[in-house]
Structure 1
């Protein structure tokens, strides 16, 4: 983008210098010189308009490409995060099942111990 700005500045500066030198060394009448200056100014304007148009088109394409790349990377990241979240949830569900099984075993052992204690108390 800086190169484009430098190019435009060089183009405008060159046109201004050329017009000034043309005025100083013009061997023709003032009217002819004005016509030539007008013609050259129109040419410079056309070149500048073309350069601005090309730069605008280039920037627009660059912005579209950047947007597409960003959206693509975002989709990849979200997809990856989704898979990782699924993996984490699966692991947590597995651990929860293990804890439930241990808890059930603990409660069963606790009931057995409680029944053993009641039986001992009843016998004594």
Structure 2
């Protein structure tokens, strides 16, 4: 999926969760780009055999290492998760946003007095 497709899906998810705000468009763009990169990395990882450990040649011989493609996927996934959380699209992220919006703002004594009129 391309960045534009991810952007539409993210905005729809935010709207469904009730967390979409126009000023979230830039983080949404960034998340859509991260998701596109992650998908590309995942395709490459699968194309190369989906091996989580590969052998790396060194002067002393071959040594097993974590596949760099898998490391990239892990990194992009963690980054995307932080964006999802900040947009209120995870249970903890939504709870945090809801708690902030549910807290009543303190009214000043003057505002209380003016409401009485």
The alignment's TM-score, normalised by the length of structure 1, stands at 0.38
User: Which has the larger share of strand?
Assistant: 2
Q: Normalising by structure 2, report the TM-score.
A: 0.40
